[in-house]
Amino acid sequence: MTDRYAVIGNPIAQSKSPLIHSAFAQVTGQDIDYGKLLGPLGEFVAVVDAFRASGGRGLNVTAPFKLDAFAYATDLALSAQMAGAVNAMKFEGDKVYAENFDGVGLVRDVVHNLGCPLQGRRVLILGAGGATRGALLPLLAEQPAELVIVNRTVAKAHELVALANQHQTGEVPVLGLGYVALQGQAFDVVLNATSSSLTAELPPLPASVFTPGCLAYDLTYGKGLTPFLKLAQQVGVTQVADGVGMLAEQAAEAFAWWRGVRPDTAAVIAQLTLPLV
C-alpha cells in the first residue's frame, strides 16, 4: 500500500520537496506518494486533520506554518523545542511527533558534503532567529573551538547563548555579540542565518571576519551570489556555498525518520544546485 506524505505551506507551488522526496523514494525503493498542500491562512489545523483522516503518514512544514505545527504536535523533539518551530511531523494514531531537521541538515552539508570540519574551529553565525536556534546543538556537537552569535539586537544573541549553555553537553565557549564587536576578529566558518539575502541586503559585517581559507555559507538558497557571498569573495574567500545542500540534507533526515532508510543526497543536490554568479 502506498503511504502518503506531503509538504504544507502558503505559498507552496515553489516547493522542491515533492521532487526531492520522489527522488529519494526511487533510489531507496520506498512506495510513497508525496504531494503539496496549500494551507489557507488560519486553517492549518483543519487541513492537517483532513490529511490525517485520509491516511496521511507525515508532513514537511514550511512557511508560514512552522509555529502552527509546533502548537499542533503532541510530542516535540528537543530539536523542535530548541528551534521553537517544527518542519517535520509524523502521525501515529493519536500521536503527532514533531522534529526540526534544519540544524542537523546544515551541519551535515557543511561537514560531509563540503568537507569542512568544525571541530577546533572558530564559527560565526549571523542572526538570532529560528534558524540559529535550531542550529545551536548540532553545531556545538561538532566541538568547535568557539561559537559566536552576532545580531543587531544583542540581547537576542545573549538569549541564545543562555539557551545553548543550558542544553550543550560539552564546554564549547558560546558568545553573543553585536556587529561592532566583530572588528578585528576572524573566523574559520561564517554562516549567514539572517533573512538579508532574501532582499539582497548585506548584514553590517566587517570584511575582516573572513579568513582567506574560511567557508562562507549562506543558508538562503537559489539566490545566486548574494551580497554576503560577494563580500566573502571580494576578500579572497574561495569556498562559498548557499543552502541547497542544507535543503536536501534536512529532507533526507525527515525521509529517514519516516521510512527507516537514509537516502544518498548527492544526485538531488546536483540537480538543484544553481551557479553562484
pLDDT for the residue numbered 51:
98
CATH of the domain at 21: 3.40.50.10860
Q: 40, 71, 100: which is the final residue of a domain?
A: 100
Q: Say yes or no: 135 and 214 in one domain.
A: yes
Residue 170 has pLDDT above 90, yes or no: no
Q: 38, 67, 100: which is the final residue of a domain?
A: 100
pLDDT for the residue numbered 69:
98
Q: Say yes or no: 7 and 68 in one domain.
A: yes
Mean pLDDT across 109-132 = 97
Asked whether residue 273 is domain-assigned, the answer is no
Mean pLDDT across 71-80 = 97
C-alpha cell at 6: 506531503
Average pLDDT of the chain, as a whole number = 96
Q: pLDDT (tens digit, 9 = 90+) per residue, 172-203? A: 999 999 999 999 999 999 999 999 998 889 99
pLDDT for the residue numbered 258:
98
The residues assigned a catalytic role are 66
Domain range for 15: 3-100
Q: Say yes or no: 84 and 116 in one domain.
A: no
The pTM (predicted TM-score) of the whole model is 0.95
Q: Say yes or no: 108 and 182 in one domain.
A: yes
Q: Say yes or no: 210 and 122 in one domain.
A: yes
Range list of β-strands (E), 62-130: 75-76, 88-92, 95-99, 122-126
Q: pLDDT (tens digit, 9 = 90+) per residue, 143-154? A: 999 999 999 999
Task: Quote the number of domains for the chain.
Answer: 2
Q: Say yes or no: 137 and 237 in one domain.
A: yes
Using the CB atoms, write b or e for 64-91: b if 16+ within 10 Å.
ebbebbbebbeebbebbbbbbbbbbbbb
Q: Say yes or no: 170 and 69 in one domain.
A: no
Asked whether residue 262 is domain-assigned, the answer is no
Q: pLDDT (tens digit, 9 = 90+) per residue, 228-260? A: 999 999 999 999 999 999 999 999 999 999 999
- Determine phi and psi for 215, rounding to 5 degrees: -105, 125
Q: How many Å apart are CA 156 and CA 240, to the nearest integer?
A: 27
